[in-house]
Chain A
Amino acid sequence: MKRLAKWRLFSLFAMMALILSACSGEPYLSTLKPAGEVAQTQFDLMVLSTVIMVGVIAVVTIIFFIVVFKFRRKDDRIPKQVEGSHKLEIIWTVIPILLLLILAVPTVSATFKLADVGPMEKKNEDGKTDALVVNVRANLYWWEFEYPNQEIITGQELVVPTDEKVYFNLIASDVKHSFWIPAVGGKLDTNTDNVNKFWLKFDSEKAADADNLFYGKCAELCGPSHALMDFKVKAVPRDEFDQWATAMAEVKEPKKAETDLAQAGQEVFNNSCIGCHAVTPANTAPEAARLAPNLTNFGDRDRIAGVLDHTEDDLKDWLRDPETFKPGNKMTGTYGELSEEELDALTEYLMGLKVTEQ
């Protein structure tokens, strides 16, 4: 009997998992395709609570249908006026309490587990942490990712190593945003008042399913282009990450353009863009002076402005009129009109800003 109950419970779990995974969304975006320890913990809780809740719904539904079919009015009799039943009332008070306890215990334990950021506070002799730390700064409508240990900054595209805990410091520089990589773990707000901290872990196998590229979202209403404040996460093996970080750190001076066209583009850039966009990754400038995404590795990225395809045509469209693509952005109107020749040159230059060889 007991074994039968166990087997039933197991099959229920299996069925729930099956249902949840049958319509479970895209591997780079869906919380139902967990790609890391945090998302997995949360997914497990989802399955547990869904099983409990489906049980509750089943009981209610059964009683519901019995009532609705059995007790329809057939004649004009007056039914017996029942005051209540202590026994029944105790049953439906105690059983829910027990069910909630079953959910409450793992909830509390997971809540503490996900909030454990101890390793990011421990500094070694160099004054750095052994764990990988990323400072995330959310802005209208772009993201800055600073790696304090590696002393580099990038924007819009977060690069992280797989299979190890990555710790995040989160803050917003204008209004409140929220940092969310659905497939990898639940969100945490970037407040304007204080730094929030948490960790995520990117699973290498699941990352491979998603072509090593996860979608990140802003989850807190922040203005007209809140919907377009996407970012991407490149999750790569540790050695690849190290190569990338080293290549980034080696860019001490703005990269020299190689072709004539690109040189012309660099000139345009230096006249119109460099006031806000840096092309060196050093984190020496104060935050307030970092007004726009760092473009050191722009050519390596997968999206323009977080939402457009990474093509020369899209880049030109964006530069012609950012307002149509991201209403309310802070770039519109800061750099004057660009001629078609200037656009061609600028595009050539920007697309050449790469740190990885391909």
Chain B
Amino acid sequence: MSTLAQKKGFGAVLWDYLTTVDHKKIAILYLIAGGFFFLLGGLEAMFIRIQLAVPNNDFVSAGLYNEILTMHGTTMIFLAAMPLIFAFMNAVMPLQIGARDVAFPFLNSLGFWLFFFGGVFLNLSWFLGGAPDAGWTSYASLSIASEGHGIDFYALGLQISGAGTLIGGINFLVTIINMRAPGMTYMRMPLFTWTTFVTSALILFAFPALTVGLFLLIFDRMFGSNFFDPAMGGNTIIWEHFFWIFGHPEVYILVLPAFGIFSEIFAIFSRKRLFGYSSMVFATVLIGFLGFMVWAHHMFTTGMGPIANAIFAVATMAIAVPTGIKIFNWLFTMWGGSITFTTPMLWAIAFIPSFVAGGVTGVMLASAAQDYQYHDSYFVVAHFHYVIVGGVVFALFAGAHLYWPKMFGTMLSEFLGKITFVLFFIGFHLTFFIQHFLGLWGMPRRIFTYLPGQGFDTSNMVSTVGAFFMAAAVIILLINVVITSVKNEKVGNDPWGDGRTLEWAIPSPPPFYNFKQLPLVRGLDAYWLEKMEGKKGMSPAEPLGDIHMPNNSFVPFVISFGLFVAAFGAMYHNEHSWGIPVLIVGMLITLGSMFVRSVKDDHGYHIHKEDLEDNNDKGVKA
């Protein structure tokens, strides 16, 4: 079918991406949008470090600093890390289970556009009177007292993008439960698929808590309710609970897929199956489960009393056990293996000591009585950057290099990749290691400046220098991406040579229907098994037949756009008469397009058997 391969004009490509329901293209959308927000959050981080480089600095003003720190945290968590994780989940998970797409391609697209419009809405605050300034945690007394519309942007923006995340999570759950290829039992699923599965379950249970909290905040700020006003019988502590009932699982939502990516990398580049696969699965599920039992360790100093503090302290420490199991399993995956130090593997190897350092400070923080000293100090800042950068961001870099060929059909330069790695690794430890000590020496977090004579000066300068290394590393990665795209040297199915799972059995990038014939899975590391038996590809599990495909749709874009419009109405209705009409128009756009989607039958289309037979170079070979 030659028409499929024809070159398209820019307009056609744009329209294709605006309407696509293909998980691989949605993955690219997530990668681009998440990458953009990652750069934005990184820029904010640089402003923070420049401001703190010397005492009494006036690079940014006090109020602006609070906006920057809030947007740095919010952007990095919700608009950079999550979407980038979603990019890899979308790109890889359906391939790993041998599916032709996710269960609900339409919802997949809707999830992306909701996230995108929520993120854009949140960032428009910079141009419309000021960004939110109450921290990414947005604790109620401060967020209610905050003037201007910053917090409104936060609450509405996150509400919209949060809905997208929830939809995405449900979609992945259903996909993994229903769409595994013949023979792909649960205990044969690659670990990245497992972590996607558990993460999606966490999203399903954690995000509603955020949704509820944000709705209460929206009503308090925009519609005159008093859920968080103690003078009116409200309570601010309840926000802290809502936020952390969401916020703690959120940490695992980010880090479990990172574990998944690393599990793949260790196995591939050690040429060994994952050591203790079943205990890895068990540990993943256990971490997910315990992740819901520990939220109050973020509130040890809130005054919950010794009983609650003691219970949550011990529960939190328990998480160290399954995490420790994982670390040792990774080490023993490499033990006796044949290790090659590719860029993804370098990130994975560097992840182990970095993440262990973040993990052990986590145990120290879990110990309630000593946490009273660490809480809200730079010690905590150091800890969570070790976990989130050393865990999640390392995984994103590793994943980007590992899956780039599968997503785009080209290899990122290994040479530049290694330079990126070295610079980032040095910069990361230079920036954050010293911050443990800053916290112990008495420096609170979220301060826009500090006075000289407290022993903070040199260490803050060191930390700032480190940040510039990380910035340089990211710039080199961007150069790498550009060079690679311009060169455009295509690679084959299994560019790393040691691929173990199904995604490496099909072309890079895969045809839009992924598998011409669904593969037959005969065990863990299905593709590896076939290779070891001297076969070139997977055995098909079905005869060649018509493939049912979904149609593209512009409706998800319109649904999300409606909410984006409605959010402006909700925000401005107290001061502008056009507020309520705009709110109604926005909701009508959303509900109207949902109605159209509901009444208009869209049966998709079929790729015919004859067309598939034409291009034998694509899809699974029998």
Chain A interfacial positions (CB closer than 8 Å to B): 23-26, 29-32, 39, 41-42, 45-46, 49-50, 52-53, 56-57, 60-61, 63-64, 66-68, 71-75, 77-85, 88-89, 92-93, 96-97, 100, 103-104, 107-108, 110-115, 170, 172, 174-176, 178, 180, 182-183, 185-189, 191-194, 196, 215, 217-228, 230, 307, 327-328
The 6 A-B residue pairs whose C-beta atoms are closest, nearest first, are A186-B372, A25-B441, A227-B447, A182-B442, A110-B369, A84-B276
Determine whether B34 belongs to the interface, using a CB cutoff of 8 Å to chain A: no
| Smallest CB separation, B12 vs chain A (Å) | 45
Task: Give the residue of B237, B337, B349, B441 whose beta carbon is less than 8 angstroms from that of A79.
Answer: B337
Bound Cα distance from A73 to B345, whole angstroms: 13
Do B314 and A104 have beta carbons less than 8 Å apart?
Answer: yes
Task: Give the residue of A23, A26, A73 whose beta carbon is less than 8 angstroms from that of B437.
Answer: A23
Do A49 and B370 have beta carbons less than 8 Å apart?
Answer: yes
Can you list 16 contacts pairing A with B, beta carbon distance less than 8 Å? A53-B361, A60-B356, A71-B334, A71-B338, A83-B273, A84-B329, A89-B325, A96-B324, A107-B313, A115-B306, A172-B141, A183-B442, A186-B301, A191-B302, A193-B235, A219-B301
- Interface-located stretch among B96-104, B108-116, B448-456, B513-521: B448-456
| Smallest CB separation, A124 vs chain B (Å) | 26
Do B62 and A78 have beta carbons less than 8 Å apart?
Answer: no
Do B313 and A108 have beta carbons less than 8 Å apart?
Answer: yes
Do A78 and B532 have beta carbons less than 8 Å apart?
Answer: yes
Q: Using known A-B contacts A100-B320, A217-B444, determine if residue A82 contacts B275 with beta carbons closer than 8 Å.
A: yes
Bound Cα distance from A60 to B437, whole angstroms: 23
Do B372 and A187 have beta carbons less than 8 Å apart?
Answer: yes
| Interface size, chain B (Cβ < 8 Å) | 87
Q: Which residue of A lies closest to B532 (CB)?
A: A78
Q: Which residue of B lies closest to A140 (CB)?
A: B145
Do B441 and A31 have beta carbons less than 8 Å apart?
Answer: yes
Q: Using known A-B contacts A46-B364, A60-B331, A188-B303, determine if residue A30 contacts B325 with beta carbons closer than 8 Å.
A: no
| Smallest CB separation, B364 vs chain A (Å) | 5
Do B324 and A25 have beta carbons less than 8 Å apart?
Answer: no
Q: Which residue of B lies closest to A72 (CB)?
A: B339
Determine whether B401 belongs to the interface, using a CB cutoff of 8 Å to chain A: no
Task: Give the residue of A23, A79, A185, A230 whose beta carbon is less than 8 angstroms from that of B271.
Answer: A79
Determine whether B193 belongs to the interface, using a CB cutoff of 8 Å to chain A: no
Q: Which residue of B lies closest to A54 (CB)?
A: B360
Specify which chain B residues have a CB less than 8 angstroms from the CB of A60 in the assembled complex. 327-328, 331, 352-353, 356
Specify which chain A residues have a CB less than 8 angstroms from the CB of B145 in the assembled complex. 174-175, 223
Bound Cα distance from A73 to B314, whole angstroms: 42
Determine whether B63 belongs to the interface, using a CB cutoff of 8 Å to chain A: yes
Do B377 and A67 have beta carbons less than 8 Å apart?
Answer: no
Do A85 and B276 have beta carbons less than 8 Å apart?
Answer: yes
Q: Which residue of A lies closest to B357 (CB)?
A: A57
Specify which chain B residues have a CB less than 8 angstroms from the CB of A194 in the assembled complex. 237, 303
| Smallest CB separation, B215 vs chain A (Å) | 20
Do B375 and A187 have beta carbons less than 8 Å apart?
Answer: yes
Specify which chain B residues have a CB less than 8 angstroms from the CB of A225 in the assembled complex. 62
Bound Cα distance from A208 to B327, whole angstroms: 47
Specify which chain A residues have a CB less than 8 angstroms from the CB of B331 in the assembled complex. 60, 63-64, 67
Do B310 and A53 have beta carbons less than 8 Å apart?
Answer: no
Do B363 and A84 have beta carbons less than 8 Å apart?
Answer: no
Do B441 and A227 have beta carbons less than 8 Å apart?
Answer: no
Over the window 536-568 of chain B, the binary record of Cβ atoms lying under 8 Å from chain A Cβ atoms (1 yes, 0 no) is 000000000000000000000000000000000
Candidate in B305, B335, B356, B369 with the most chain A CB atoms within 10 angstroms: B369
| Smallest CB separation, A111 vs chain B (Å) | 5
- 8 Å CB interface, B290-338 against A: 301-303, 305-306, 309-310, 313-314, 317-318, 320-321, 324-325, 327-329, 331-332, 334-338
Bound Cα distance from A236 to B137, whole angstroms: 39
Q: Which residue of B lies closest to A53 (CB)?
A: B360
